[in-house]
Amino acid sequence: MPMPRPRSQQAFERALRAIPGGVNSPARAFGAVGGQPIFIDRGDGPFLVDIDGHRYLDYVGSWGPLILGHRHPRVVQAVEDALHKGATFGAPTELETELAELIIALVPSIEMVRMVSSGTEAAMSALRLARGFTGRDVIVKFAGCYHGHVDSLLVQAGSSATTHGVPTSPGVPRNCTADTLVLRFNDPQGLVDAFRLHGERIAGVIVEPVAGNMGLVPPSADFLTELRRQTERYGALLIYDEVMTGFRLALGGAQALFGQKPDLTVLGKIVGGGLPVGAYGGRADIMKHVMPAGPVFQAGTLSGNPLAMAAGLATLRELRDHPPYARLEELGRRLADGLREAAAHLPHHLQRVGSMWTLFFTAAPVVDYDTARLADTARFARFFWGMMDRGIYLPCSQFEAAFLSTAHSDEHIAATIDAAREVLAAEK
Ligand SMILES: *Cc1c(COP(=O)(O)O)cnc(C)c1O
């Protein structure tokens, strides 16, 4: 039986009159699965409570930041303490240095770091720095990877191995994407070919080391190795976008997990502990090109905001003091095994790295954007709503990663598997 959600329905109708599409970020509108979004009253550990009073087990975690679940006491306390001192000063505080030092201590390749207010801003700033540092213009990205709504990175996947980018959104001038090369994820040969043709003009390569924005797609070892080899050979910078993977797959992010060393790293989500934070960092000789140490301009009125720094610090300290990664791996493995069993009679691929996962409804393994797009999105939409009506909140698109948090327990995993078995039993 579908859950009635009259208050959410009313709230959405009201929001539609005041806010484009009723939401402040498009993924929230449930467009990919049809129907209307639920409006949230509060979070509680692993749960969301909507304004109709329904409780859901949350596998979205605000799209990644909430690795400690909702309202972790240490984070709440830190933000309260900071708030009582003042919300913003536009002048340095020691909190900023403390968070910078902690990031440097935890992420192997980061020697210096600059705070901004979103992942988008961090990616945009890292690209400007890569171009300013190398004196080159061309940026390489991979189809299906998302780096925020940066003009130059809003480019579609080309079906051929190498295509000059065409803007995905109206409002992005062709000029903005003319220097963006879009390659296939997990295709080392495509990378070699692109560098042979354009290597001397490439400022940087930006990549999600584990892709989470086309659903969860792990990298091949060859792909990661070739990324480092080609960028080094041609003097281009390797930029890991760890907005999603940073502090999630390991304390040191995907780069620590795979033993890789990018030149620059883009951070967001967990680093802000649920408040708006992004950061970019890396080799000190590169970071010293950022103004006022160097000539590459980048600024922000609320950058290093004390409330956000406090939330980020509390989150990273909790992860450092009580690393949850072995436990999250175990929970993830159990959940994945259970979901595979529940989907055994259907074409499917459960893909997972640590606490990030996607159940793809497709027969072939998903290795890049083209194989991801073979998934049965109509089946996913039915699965999504079936789970919603059983109190399980999943990302509302086949092409998004789901997340576990430290607030999830064995019991929650078992309940999720039971719900999936029920929902998928109706599929043939
Ligand atoms: C979420 C995300 C971004 C954008 O971060 P925002 O804070 O939403 O601007 C960039 N890169 C990756 C990999 C992301 O997952």
- Give 278 Cα–ligand 1 centroid separation in angstroms: 9
Best residue among 127, 207, 269 to mutate for probing ligand 1's pocket (most ligand atoms within 8 Å of CB) is 269
Task: Note the pLDDT of residue 153.
Answer: 85
The DSSP symbol for 247 reads T
Best residue among 115, 147, 353, 399 to mutate for probing ligand 1's pocket (most ligand atoms within 8 Å of CB) is 147
Rounded CA separation 217/345 (Å): 23
Task: Note the pLDDT of residue 166.
Answer: 67
Ligand 1 pocket, CB under 6 A = 118-120, 123, 146-148, 208, 212-213, 241, 243-244, 268, 278
Runs of H (alpha helix) within 19-118: 73-83, 94-106
Q: Fold identical between 6-67+324-424 and 73-321?
A: no
* Contact yes or no for 393/59 (Cβ under 8 A): yes
- C-alpha distances out from residue 303 to 54, 242, 261, Å: 36, 19, 26
Q: What is the dihedral of CA 373, 375, 376, 378, to 10 degrees?
A: -60
Structure tokens at 279: 């950061």
225-272 pLDDT, tens per residue? Answer: 999 999 999 999 999 999 999 999 999 999 999 999 999 999 999 999
pTM, entire model = 0.96
**Looking at ligand 1, which residue's alpha carbon is closest to its atom 11?**
147
Task: Note the pLDDT of residue 161.
Answer: 35
Let me know if domain 73-321 sits in CATH 3.40.640.10.
yes
Task: Note the pLDDT of residue 378.
Answer: 97
Residue 83 CB coordination number (10 Å): 12
Q: Where are the domains of the chain?
A: 6-67+324-424, 73-321
- Give 312 Cα–ligand 1 centroid separation in angstroms: 16
- Give 241 Cα–ligand 1 centroid separation in angstroms: 8
Among the four given CATH numbers 3.90.1150.10, 1.10.10.10, 3.90.1210.10, 3.40.50.300, the one describing domain 6-67+324-424: 3.90.1150.10
177-229 pLDDT, tens per residue? Answer: 889 999 999 999 999 999 999 999 999 999 999 999 999 999 999 999 999 99
Residue ranges for the chain with pLDDT beneath 70:
1, 156-166
User: b/e string for 264-273 if b means 16 or more Cβ within 10 A?
Assistant: bbbbbbbbbb
Phi-psi region of 274 (alpha: psi -120 to 50; beta: other; left: phi over 0): left
Task: Note the pLDDT of residue 106.
Answer: 98
Integer-rounded Cα Rg, in Å, for the chain is 21
